[in-house]
């Protein structure tokens, strides 16, 4: 681990768990760095996504939800992350693909130059899909619906091309080459249903939370169908 990466990790640890802002001078003293170095490190962490509140003379507070995972990763773990990110960039969800690219850029920024070069040129490649996945601009809505446990209004075409409007409780999405599959509770059928991604015409978030929890639906779904998609 580089000296700079170690210093950033120590700064995160110093900020973590605090409920009130801590003065920059105090942080610099605790970490054994100059105030100028501290300000530069805080700016670096902010660029990498750390939600650090505060300014010089006011104090600093790290809002929950930010970790800097690559600092303690082995090269095997970093290669696995890079390979997974490359696979995500080949999926039709452009927002998710761009998030994967940003995540790997942030991870790379914390690594020593030699390690970063090794990961970027590892030779572990993701094959190009045999067919171009259909455009699916509704995927971010689906992912948010799954995350927030929201009821979605779906415009869907069956195998004969007949379109229907449905209210669904989405809880899982499987990404497979050439075909994605959505698992949800369908209010129309009053049962679990699987929907092919290439037959979804549109999705809209109703903003309403469905009357169950996602993990409960997944448990019921597995018991009812025998499926065991990794979650």
The answer to whether residue 134 sits within a structural domain is no
Same domain for 183 and 216? yes
CATH code at position 49: 1.10.10.10
In Å, how far are 63, 95, 174, 218, 227 from 230, measured between CA atoms? 30, 22, 9, 10, 9
The crossing angle, in degrees rounded to 10, of helices 113-120 and 94-109 is: 150
Residue 41: give the domain boundaries: 3-62
- Note whether 196 and 183 are within 8 A (CB): no
Q: Strand runs (DSSP E) across 67-128, as ranges? A: none
219, 159 Cβ separation under 8 angstroms: no
Q: Hey, what are 177's tokens? A: 């080459």
Calpha distance 63→150 (Å, rounded):
26
Residue that terminates a domain, selected from 15, 40, 62: 62
Residue 92 lies in a domain: yes
Task: Please indicate, yes or no, whether residues 7 and 36 belong to a single structural domain of this protein.
Answer: yes
Residues 197, 180: contact at Cβ < 8 Å? yes
**65 phi, psi to nearest 5 deg:** 110, 5
- 126 belongs to a structural domain: no
Number of separate domains in the chain:
3
Among residues 164, 228, 218, 160, the alpha carbon closest in space to that of 192 is found at 218
What is the pLDDT, as a whole number, of residue 116?
A: 81
- List the chain pLDDT tens, one digit each, 231 residues: 567 777 888 888 888 767 889 999 999 998 999 999 999 999 988 887 788 999 888 899 988 765 554 456 778 888 898 889 988 888 778 888 888 888 888 778 777 788 888 888 888 878 776 666 666 788 889 999 999 999 999 999 988 889 999 999 999 998 776 568 899 999 999 999 999 888 999 999 999 999 999 999 999 999 988 775 543
pLDDT at 221 (0 to 100): 93
Say what the pLDDT of residue 191 is.
95
Residues 108 and 57 in one domain: no
What's residue 64's pLDDT? 73
Decide if 187 is inside a domain: yes
Q: What is the pLDDT, as a whole number, of residue 12?
A: 85
The pLDDT score that the predictor gives to residue 103 is 83
* 94 shares a domain with 33: no
Distant-in-sequence, close-in-space partners of 124: CB < 8 Å, separation ≥ 6: 79, 82, 83, 86
């Amino acid at each position: 681990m580089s000296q700079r990466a170690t210093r950033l990790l120590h700064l995160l640890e110093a900020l973590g768990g605090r409920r009130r802002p801590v003065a920059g001078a105090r942080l610099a003293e605790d970490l054994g760095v100059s105030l100028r170095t501290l300000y530069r490190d805080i700016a670096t962490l902010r660029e990498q996504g750390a939600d650090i509140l505060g300014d010089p003379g006011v104090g600093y507070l790290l809002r929950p939800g930010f970790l800097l995972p690559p600092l303690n990763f082995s090269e095997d773990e970093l290669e696995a992350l890079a390979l997974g990110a490359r696979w995500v960039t080949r999926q039709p969800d452009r927002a998710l693909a761009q998030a994967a690219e940003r995540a790997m850029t942030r991870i790379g920024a914390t690594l020593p130059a030699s390690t970063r070069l090794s990961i970027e040129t590892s030779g572990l490649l993701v094959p190009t899909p045999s067919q171009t996945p259909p455009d699916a601009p509704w995927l971010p809505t689906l992912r948010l619906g799954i995350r927030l446990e929201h009821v979605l209004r779906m415009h869907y075409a069956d195998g004969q091309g007949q379109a229907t409007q449905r209210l669904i409780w989405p809880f899982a999405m499987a990404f497979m080459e050439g075909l994605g599959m959505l698992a949800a509770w369908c209010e129309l059928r009053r049962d679990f249903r699987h929907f092919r991604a290439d037959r979804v015409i549109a999705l809209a978030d109703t903003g309403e939370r469905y009357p169950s929890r996602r993990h409960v639906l997944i448990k019921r779904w597995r018991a009812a169908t025998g499926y065991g998609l990794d979650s």
